[in-house]
């Protein structure tokens, strides 16, 4: 995979980053590997004690994979997701996503990379309560400079594809848990990300709703969308194409 490094003293403007993002989009259409995690580590200091939350993680992820990440509480699952999502800085190692070395992107440009390359799905949905389903999805595209008409059309199409065509004007309080999670999935897909990171996306729904959400993930995966799912649920994991298990910050690839 061609790797694009974005040095602090090099590509420092959004315009230059946009050129590199566009190049990576064009250059990776035929690439089978969408993400490479190389010797990724995260160490925290608790006073004089060092806590190794993640130790030299190495993962190769192919385009269209539905990858489960499992492990006990405190094992490093959420840390791994946060590092890949650029929400935390690694102590060592790097993450190359769609040809871009995320660990070399200057801090001020990270929000742009997150918007255009990464979709997030959370356990608690994180929808804006005063906005409708359509507005929640449409809002995620505003900062990516998508024209208003295109935003609305794309949001409507995504929600219709997820079975929410009759819920477009409903606010989160008027939706079931499963419907809210499908709105959050549509929001994650809105900017056509290289990867979706889902943190316990079925943790607050019943088994029937869980199964419907997993079905959505599998359908998206079959269409080429790459998805990483942190889960405690073995029923979710068994439907994924691959399972990573983390114990004490160390990854084992099943």
Q: What is the pLDDT of residues 231-252, one digit of tens each?
A: 999 999 999 999 999 999 999 8
Say what the pLDDT of residue 47 is. 83
Predicted confidence (pLDDT) per residue in 88-125, tens digit: 999 999 999 999 999 999 999 999 999 999 999 988 89
16 has a pLDDT exceeding 70: no
Say what the pLDDT of residue 11 is. 46
What is the mean pLDDT of the segment spanning 6-25?
52
Say what the pLDDT of residue 1 is. 47
- Residue 120 structure tokens: 């997030």
Top pLDDT among 4 and 80 is at: 80
Say what the pLDDT of residue 241 is. 94
Domain ranges of the chain: 14-253
28 has a pLDDT exceeding 50: no
Say what the pLDDT of residue 204 is. 82
Residue 51 pLDDT level (bands cut at 50, 70, 90): confident
CATH number assigned to the domain with residue range 14-253, chosen from the 4 options 1.10.357.10, 3.40.50.300, 3.40.50.1370, 1.10.3720.10 = 3.40.50.300
Say what the pLDDT of residue 152 is. 95
Q: Are 81 and 69 in contact (CB under 8 A)?
A: yes
What is the reported pTM? Answer: 0.85
Overall residue count recorded for the chain in this entry: 254
Handedness of CA 231, 234, 236, 242 (dihedral sign): positive
What mean pLDDT, rounded, does the chain reach? 88
Say what the pLDDT of residue 231 is. 94
DSSP string, the chain: ---B---TTSS-SHHHHHHHHHHHHHHTTT-SEEEEEEEEEEEEEETTEEEEEEEEEEEEEETT-EEEEE--TTSSHHHHHHHHTTSS--SEEEEEETTEEGGGS-GGGHHHHHHHHEEEE-TT----TTS-HHHHHHHHHHTTT--HHHHHHHHHHHHHHTT-TT-TT--GGGS-HHHHHHHHHHHHHTT--SEEEEESTTTTS-HHHHHHHHHHHHHHHHTT-EEEEE-S-HHHHTTSSEEEEEETTEEEE-
What is the mean pLDDT of the segment spanning 24-38?
69
Say what the pLDDT of residue 19 is. 58
């Amino acid at each position: 995979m061609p790797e694009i490094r974005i040095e602090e003293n090099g590509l420092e403007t959004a315009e230059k980053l946009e050129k590199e993002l566009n190049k990576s989009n064009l250059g990776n259409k035929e690439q089978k590997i969408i993400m490479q995690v190389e010797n990724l580590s995260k160490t925290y200091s608790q006073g004089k004690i060092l806590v190794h939350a993640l130790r030299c993680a190495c993962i190769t992820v192919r385009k269209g994979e539905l990858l489960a990440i499992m492990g006990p509480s405190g094992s490093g699952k959420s840390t791994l997701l946060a590092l890949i999502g650029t929400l935390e800085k690694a102590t060592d190692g790097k993450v190359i996503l769609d040809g871009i070395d995320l660990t070399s992107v200057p801090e001020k440009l990270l929000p742009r990379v997150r918007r255009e390359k990464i979709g997030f799905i959370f356990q608690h949905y994180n929808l804006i309560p005063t906005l409708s389903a359509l507005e929640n999805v449409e809002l995620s595209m505003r900062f990516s400079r998508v024209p208003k008409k295109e935003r609305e059309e794309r949001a409507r199409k995504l929600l219709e594809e997820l079975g929410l065509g009759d819920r477009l004007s409903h606010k989160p309080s008027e939706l079931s848990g499963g419907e809210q999670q499908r709105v959050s999935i549509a929001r994650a897909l809105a900017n056509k990300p290289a990867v979706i990171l889902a943190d316990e996306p079925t943790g607050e729904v019943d088994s029937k709703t869980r199964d419907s959400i997993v079905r959505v993930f599998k359908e998206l995966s079959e269409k080429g969308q790459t998805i990483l799912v942190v889960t405690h649920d073995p029923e979710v994991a068994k439907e994924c194409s691959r399972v990573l298990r983390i114990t004490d910050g160390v990854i084992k690839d099943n």
